[in-house]
Amino acid sequence: MSLSLEAVRAAADRIHGRAVRTPLLESRTLSALTGGKVFVKPEVLQRTGSFKYRGAMSRMTLLTAEERRRGVIAFSSGNHAQGVAAAARDLGTTAVIVMPIDAPRLKLENTRALGAEVVLYDRYKEDRAVIGRKLAEERKLTLVPPYDDQNIMAGQGTIGLEIAADIAALGETLDVTIMPLGGGGLASGIATAISALSPRTKIYGVEPQAFDDTKRSIAAGERVSNAPDAKSICDALQVQMPGELTFPINRRLLSDVLTVSDDEVLAAMATAFRELKLVTEPGGAVALAALLSQKLDVKGKTVAVVLSGGNVDAEMFIRALKTAD
């Protein structure tokens, strides 16, 4: 079952007044650096500091009264964790979050501060989905997955609705959209909205080099996994393989998948801070990294770049600033 524009619009209605309608910011600096006309969609300004609140709220507004009474469970490296925890608090329910023991401290602390119970696991030895489903069954909790859910994907797609509307209001024609790509919920949602509203727009996902599962899966014609010992500073994009629901959509709608190195990501984080005055986390900066490292020629084109999250530990952020010196 494919995601529809109507489903994305329904999600927009459900989260209206709860999620922030983030602005679309034109950057003359990025335009001068790339030769294009560059607009930035700063989901770092979203509730909980990332786009994940949109999808979590889109799904959780559909909980029945009994499901709200029992509570929800999710597994996440941090951004979905915070989105679910915040949505649970806003909707008057409880949340249990399965998080990797090496998740950024800021994400762990913020998730607990939002009232969620955190269950830690070793991402290199244990399977978070298995742990999450076991706890869901034992405690009769509703599972809110990070991306492989139609209502989660539709919620993330509301970003695409906003980009298309704001570009049209400016009298511009959108040539290119670039966004981060992990499990594929953000990409599939945005691609669904943009392809329907602006069919001529080229849509690109960006992965870390060590987690290029969607790129390799598209080439193979089927979902393939990342190496179990793969590592990247982009903790938000570390998934085992593309989502079962997201992959067919992304395979059909994405023009291509680009990859970036950790060093390119660090440089993009520094540029976002110095030129845009925005704080980004590594996974949230990969689309900007692809643009700045010229993985795509955008000369003379109108481009929208999604900065998907800004939940970064101080140590990592300092590393990014020092790397760019």
Active site residues: 52, 308
Which residue in the block uniquely carries the two structure tokens 């990797």?
100
Residues 195, 13, 6, 248, CA torsion sign: positive
Q: Is 236 helix (H, G, I), strand (E, B) or coil?
A: helix
* Sign of torsion over alpha carbons 15, 16, 17, 21: positive
Of 171, 184, 219, 143, which is closest to residue 308 (Cα–Cα)?
184
Torsions phi, psi of 14, nearest 5?
Answer: -70, -35
- Give all strands of the β-sheet with 37-42 in edge-to-edge order: 25-27, 37-42, 302-307, 176-180, 202-208, 256-260
DSSP three-state, residue 169: helix
- Cα–Cα distance between 282 and 147 in angstroms, integer? 19
Tell which residue, 81, 65, 64, has the closest CA to residue 73. 81
Q: Residue 218 in contact with residue 191, Cβ under 8 Å?
A: no
**Which residue type does 79 have?**
N
